[in-house]
Structures are given as C-alpha cells and as structure tokens.
Amino acid sequence: MYLNKTYIAVGSNIGDWKINFNQALKHLSKYGIITKLSSTYVSYPYGFKNQKNFFNSVIEFQTNETPYNLLQKIELIEKIMMKNKTIKNGPRRIDLDIIFYNKLNLSEKKLKIPHSQAHLRDFVLMPLIEINPHFIHPVKKRSLINLYKDLDKKYVFKVIKRQIGSLANY
C-alpha cells in the first residue's frame, strides 16, 4: 500500500514524445504506481519561444518515497533520458515536475511543493483538471477549475485523448 498521492507533470518536445513519455513512466513505476494518466495537451512553448511545441500530461502517482527521495528519482530519470536543460524553459526530451504531494506546502530552495508556477500554466492545469476536477490547491485554497478560469494567457491548442487501457502499460 502506498502512503502518498502525488501529481507529476510530464513534458517533452524533443524526439518522439510517446516514446519519451513511455520510458519516463516505466522508470517512475519502479517507485510507485500510476493510478491516473491524463490525455496529452499540445502547447506552444512557454518562456523560450524559439523551439518546437510541447506535449504535456499529468499523472496521479502513489508512492512511499519522501518528497526529496522522489525528486532524486525524478532527476535520475531525467539524467538517464538525457534531459538537456541548457536554457530555462528550453527544449527537452523529458521534463518531470512534482506538482502536488498530498496536501504538502514546502518552500525550500531545492524543492517547492506545490510547484510554484503550476497555477499559472494551462498545460499543467488542464490535465490536472481532467484527472481530478475537484482538487483544491493547498496554498491558493481554490479549485483548479477556478485557477484555470483566471488565466490570462493560454498555450494549449490541441488535446490528444488517451487511449483506453493505455495505463496498463505501467
């Protein structure tokens, strides 16, 4: 039995995003169980504009890892998959971010939970709303739907619906 429920954002814009997502999720499943997987949301680049569009999903992930151990596992997965993070918000084969960890509020230099920018990004909020529409942001004390409605700028322009049963691969 896993004690902690987390939400992890998955993003990619280098190479085949399906292969990248599958590899990352298989690696993650060594440390817990993926209980929900959103559709994939295609978005224009955020921040650094001179790059390809991003493919974004969110998973609900149950684990016994502590927040810091989970971060270490995620960083290892990104390293194995050769995440190239030379430019802030730049192109990358895989990007994994802890968005929520239970109802934890943690603000330290190395780790911020909830993710400090998640509530400002439609490509994170939309997949989160898909898999848990009633979730209340533990710091903002507002529903994800209301946070989404308040966004001025939107980046998502396409949704690729998840195939039924595809979660069984993990």
Q: What is the pLDDT of residues 76-130, one digit of tens each?
A: 999 999 876 667 777 899 999 999 999 999 999 999 999 999 999 999 999 999 9
pLDDT of residue 3: 94
Domain spans, the chain? 4-169
Helix boundaries (H) for the chain: 17-28, 67-80, 122-131, 144-149
**Residue 2 CB partners (closer than 8 Å, separation 6+):** 32, 33, 62, 63, 64
For residues 35 and 170, give the distance between their C-alpha atoms in angstroms, rounded to a whole number. 9
Query: CA 102, CA 67: separation in Å to the nearest integer?
Result: 10
Q: What is the mean pLDDT of residues 57-61?
A: 98
Candidates 11, 37, 13, 38; CA nearest to 127 is 38
Q: Which CATH class is domain 4-169?
A: alpha beta
Task: Name residue, tokens 């691969």.
Answer: 169
Q: How confident is the model at residue 47 (pLDDT cuts 50, 70, 90)?
A: confident
Q: Which amino acid is at 156?
A: V
Strands (E), 30-169: 32-37, 40-43, 54-63, 95-101, 106-107, 112-113, 156-160
Residue 166 has pLDDT above 70, yes or no: no
